[in-house]
Amino acid sequence: MRFFNGWECGLRHLLAVVGFLLVLTAPVLAAAAPPVFDTPKALLDYAYAPYATGNFKDDTSLLYSSELNAQFAAADANSSEDSPGPIDFDVFVNAQDYQLTDLVIGDPVDEGTGMKVPVNFKNFGDAQSLLFHLIKEGGGWKINDIESLTPGSTWKLTTLLTPDNSPDDGSTDAAPADGSPGDGNAAGGSGDKAPASP
Q: 167-190: per-residue pLDDT in tens?
A: 444 334 433 333 333 333 333 333
Q: 57-108: per-residue pLDDT in tens?
A: 888 889 999 999 999 999 988 888 777 778 889 999 999 999 999 999 999 9
Q: According to the model, what pLDDT value does residue 59 have?
A: 84
Q: According to the model, what pLDDT value does residue 131 have?
A: 98
Q: According to the model, what pLDDT value does residue 5 have?
A: 58
Distance of CA 91 to the CA centre of its chain: 8
Distance of CA 16 to the CA centre of its chain: 41
Residues 37, 108: Cα–Cα separation, whole Å: 14
Q: Is 161 exposed, middle or buried (0-12, 13-18, 19+ CB in 10 A)?
A: buried
Cβ distance 47 to 92 under 8 Å? yes
Q: Of 76, 99, 71, nearest to 159 (Cα)?
A: 71
64: amino acid identity, one letter: Y
**What are the sequence ranges of the domains in the chain?**
1-33, 35-165
For residue 85, give every residue at least 6 positions away whose Cβ sits within 8 Å of its Cβ, in sequence order, or none: 75, 76, 79
The residue ranking higher by pLDDT, 54 or 163, is 54
The matching CATH number, chosen from 3.30.300.30, 3.40.50.11810, 3.40.50.12240, 3.10.450.50, for 35-165 is 3.10.450.50
Residues 122, 62: Cα–Cα separation, whole Å: 25
Mean pLDDT taken over the chain: 78
pTM of the model: 0.70
State mean pLDDT over 111-117: 96
Q: According to the model, what pLDDT value does residue 97 have?
A: 96
Q: Of 197, 193, 196, nearest to 94 (Cα)?
A: 193
Q: According to the model, what pLDDT value does residue 8 have?
A: 60
Q: Of 90, 66, 69, nearest to 172 (Cα)?
A: 90
pLDDT over 90 for what percent of the chain?
54
Q: 26-44: per-residue pLDDT in tens?
A: 555 445 677 899 999 999 9
Residues 63, 14: Cα–Cα separation, whole Å: 41
The residue ranking higher by pLDDT, 160 or 7, is 160
The residue ranking higher by pLDDT, 19 or 197, is 19
